[in-house]
Amino acid sequence: MVKAGRLAVATPLLADPHFARSVVLLLQVDDEDGALGLVLNQPTGTGVGEVLEAWHPLAAEPPVVFTGGPVQPNAAIALGHGRPGAPGVGAYSVLEGAPGTALGTVDLDASPEEVQTAVSEVRIFAGYAGWSPGQLEAEVEEGAWWVVDALPSDAFHAYPEQLWQHVLRRQGAPLAFAANYPEDPLLN
């Protein structure tokens, strides 16, 4: 089921360069506005401190900006990893549908000092992935995406280049077999 808080994992059939082997955390899914998500496994070479210096101390490893998707690439969105039992703050909104309450969005206009009482680390994304109403569901039906449960740690994976395989392996058969699918089957 496509809903906020889950992952859309690109199948090997999805060749679009923006989404090939991507893992997208779905932040919003509704019938009126469509779906919005963040690609979790496309780090850039730009350090968080280079563009948002105040947020660098809270940046998760690797402390770089990630490409969140092709829509509005100049817009920044932050995810926060909530501290267990920490009180919420106005600048940290827990993601509906996410497992537990450990994952949410962070208002980058707030001060990092205010947010760090509720959040242990942040990940900064430039842009986002977006689908019109029904578009993502249609792409799932066509075999472009698998929709699976997310773990809060997925958004903060220390080795994002391995996240696609990691998420697939934990699904069990038959999806786990896809984790070994070669990038170019013709070279196999």
Distance of alpha carbon 112 from alpha carbon 99, whole angstroms = 24
Q: What pLDDT shows up at residue 112?
A: 94
Tens of pLDDT, residue by residue, the chain (188 residues): 899 999 999 999 898 999 999 999 999 999 999 999 999 999 999 999 999 999 999 999 999 999 999 999 999 999 999 887 776 677 778 776 655 557 889 999 999 998 998 899 999 999 999 999 999 999 999 999 999 999 888 999 999 999 999 999 999 888 888 888 766 655 55
Q: What pLDDT shows up at residue 101?
A: 56
Place of tokens 């019109």: 132
* Domain ranges across the chain: 6-187
Distance of alpha carbon 140 from alpha carbon 32, whole angstroms = 18
Q: What pLDDT shows up at residue 118?
A: 87
CA count, 13 A, side-chain hemisphere, 147: 17
Q: What pLDDT shows up at residue 84?
A: 77
Q: Is the Cβ–Cβ distance between 56 and 63 less than 8 Å? A: yes
Q: What pLDDT shows up at residue 163?
A: 97
Q: What pLDDT shows up at residue 87?
A: 65
What CATH code is assigned to 6-187? 3.40.1740.10
Q: What SS3 state is found at 50?
A: helix
**Strand 64-67 relative to strand 6-10, pairing:** unpaired
> pTM here?
0.92
CA count, 13 A, side-chain hemisphere, 49: 7
Return the H-helix or E-strand segment holding 123.
strand 119-131
